[in-house]
Amino acid sequence: KAGVTQTPRYLIKTRGQQVTLSCSPISGHRSVSWYQQTPGQGLQFLFEYFSETQRNKGNFPGRFSGRQFSNSRSEMNVSTLELGDSALYLCASSLESSGRTGELFFGEGSRLTVL
């Protein structure tokens, strides 16, 4: 069974641009969560989508947004990029809402560099 797929794996942007990252969950999983991983802050929760609805949201500015499609695929968007947005963005899927089981299946991440 295919795992969680994130695209693109690497990308470089400049300040002020916007970026869209994509995540395809494991087949049958309805929940997709997004995390930002940086050396200084560790793993920080961005948001979770379940059946196309945002379930939870972390403490990130409105420049960070996401959505989930009817096939459970999810995208996150960051607008007006800042240098501090450089990070590894991880997507995780789970059968149910992530908090119910805690069993998340992570993709390899999209590494964003903002110049």
Residues within the interface to another protein (CB under 8 A): 4, 33, 35, 41-43, 45, 48, 56, 58, 90, 92, 98-100, 102-109
Q: Which C-beta is closer to another protein: that of 84 or that of 99? A: 99
Q: Smallest distance, Å, CB 74 to another protein?
A: 15
Helix (H, G, I), strand (E, B) or coil at 82: coil
Return d(Cα 46, Cα 25) in angstroms, integer.
Answer: 17
Q: Which C-beta is closer to another protein: that of 9 or that of 15? A: 9
Q: Which C-beta is closer to another protein: that of 31 or that of 72? A: 31
Length of the chain: 115
Degrees (nearest 5) of the Cα angle 45, 50, 51? 155
